[in-house]
Amino acid sequence: MILEDKVVLVSGIGPGLGQELAINAGREGAKVVLAARTKSFLEEVDSIVRESGTETLVVPTDITSPGQCQNLVDQSIARFGRIDALINSAYSGGKPVMFADSDLDDWRATMEVNFFGSLTLTQKVVPHMKRDGGGSIVMINTMVQRKPMPTQAAYGASKGALTAATRMLAKELGPDQIRVNSVSMGWMWGPPVQYYIRNAAKQMGVSEEEVIKGITAEIPLGRIPDDADCANAALFLASDLSRVITGASLDCNGGEFMP
């Protein structure tokens, strides 16, 4: 188990990737701190994570609130004594509209979660990682900021800023043995994408299979990557298997984007 006895904090526990990060971290031996805004869903996922026998902590948190971020970290330290890895998975997709029709207040709100929220939580965790001799910070990012898609400008721009911040933090925190990396996800098979496919098929008057065929046509592996498999890529970066990797951006999209 690649995370045995590690304490892993996961923000943005939700349907899809967020829950898979927590579930797989538990299966890999980690003690897991689950954070998100919705307490009821946190508790639902927590019950699944604990099936692997791992210890958990549930802390409802809005990462746009510095006070709530501090409470999350304080409770994690009080319970487990340390935080070995932070996975910043909380996000806002912004409104899917063309730029000409955008309200820049929506851009600001999207940036508040994806960029400032992730950095706020990171800033609260860093002193404890320094004290304990290091750690790993993983930013969940998106292929969209490298392969632009219409109507995704607010989301992509916020994640692009996070990419730049990741490199800067890797440079600054490296001497403290704190690694900072990101994983750029593409299409992921799970509840959010399944919902999108159902709606797209209905709007276009075609079958769901036709929508899936259009998506996979650009993916060399020929399938939409499962969100649990994508979660494992992030957990690799959280583990000691990647202890000499920092400042990197790992593309996890079935080969759809190749830099």
Long-range contacts of 190-198 (CB under 8 A, 24+ apart): 190/15, 190/16, 190/17, 190/20, 190/226, 190/227, 191/15, 191/16, 192/15, 192/16, 193/16, 193/224
**Percent of the chain at pLDDT exceeding 70:** 100
What φ, ψ does residue 227 adopt, rounded to 5°? -65, -30
- Rounded Cα distance between 74 and 67, Å, is 10
Q: Which CATH architecture has domain 7-188+226-252?
A: 3-Layer(aba) Sandwich (3.40)
Mean pLDDT of 52-70: 97
Strand ranges of the sheet holding 135-142, from the earlier edge strand across to the other edge = 56-60, 31-36, 7-11, 85-88, 135-142, 178-185, 249-252
Residue 259 has pLDDT above 90, yes or no: no
Residue 137 has pLDDT above 90, yes or no: yes
Q: Convert the pLDDT of each residue in 157-175 to its tens digit.
A: 999 999 999 999 999 999 9
Q: Which residues make up the CATH 3.40.50.720 domain(s) of the chain?
A: 7-188+226-252
What φ, ψ does residue 187 adopt, rounded to 5°? -65, 135
What are the beta bridge partners of residue 32?
A: 8, 56
Residue 206 DSSP class: S
Q: What's the whole-number average pLDDT of the chain?
A: 96
Residue identified by tokens 């990101």 is 182
Residue 225 DSSP class: P
- Rounded Cα distance between 8 and 138, Å, is 11
Residue identified by tokens 């600001």 is 108
3-state secondary structure of 55: coil
What are the strands, taking DSSP E only, across 128-212? 135-142, 178-185
User: Cβ contacts of residue 100 below 8 Å, gap of 6+?
Assistant: none
Ramachandran assignment for 255, one of left (phi > 0), alpha (psi -120 to 50 degrees), beta (any other): left
Q: Convert the pLDDT of each residue in 86-132 to its tens digit.
A: 999 999 999 999 999 999 999 999 999 999 999 999 999 999 999 99
